[in-house]
Structure 1
């Protein structure tokens, strides 16, 4: 079985160095516009709970409907 391909190896390695999980780093590095948009998103603390919930839904975080805003931020950062 071969190792999954990473579209943007530099970004993947940078995310891993920052402590992102292999899965999250790969998911980000494999997005279609990987490496093109970075740095423009506001920090999760500035998002509404509904926005955090939708992001958690997009990345497949289980149990999100019962999470507080703080728990959603933690789950998104550590998923």
Structure 2
């Protein structure tokens, strides 16, 4: 359970719901904090990028590097897709 006085989590109820659904702590915090801002609407942004299957391995690797996926150097394309989706 998140401490309701934790200044890094802006919407504790959203954070907890996402964690209960299996989201990582990082992902839950990112979404909860984005929803807390009036100028951000994370649920309305999705679907604009092509699916990971359409990306090249080089593009997937660069994205994995950008977000800090461990073990990316040894991964095949399908493993990079799975790791990015589960991050």
TM bin, normalised by shorter chain, reads 0.5 to 0.7
Specify which structure has the bigger relative contact order, considering alpha-carbon pairs within 8 angstroms and separated by 6 or more residues: 1
The separation in 1 between residues aligned to 2:21 and 2:55, in whole angstroms, is 22
Matched with 1:51 is 59
Q: Which has the larger radius of gyration?
A: 2
Give the 4+ runs in structure 1 shifted more than 6 A.
none
Counterpart among 54, 78, 82 of residue 74 in structure 1: 82
The count of residues paired between Structure 1 and Structure 2 equals: 76
The separation in 2 between residues aligned to 1:29 and 1:19, in whole angstroms, is 14
| Structure 2, unaligned runs of 5 or more | 35-39
Richer in helix (by share): 2
Q: CA RMSD in A?
A: 3.0
Offset at residue 72 of structure 1 (A): 0.4
| Structure 1, unaligned runs of 5 or more | none
Structure 2 length-normalised TM: 0.61
Matched with 2:27 is 24
Deviation per residue, 1:11-46 (Å, 9 max, x gap): x789x3875423124335657x66364321000011
Deviation per residue, 1:26-79 (Å, 9 max, x gap): 335657x66364321000011000000011001101110110001001111111
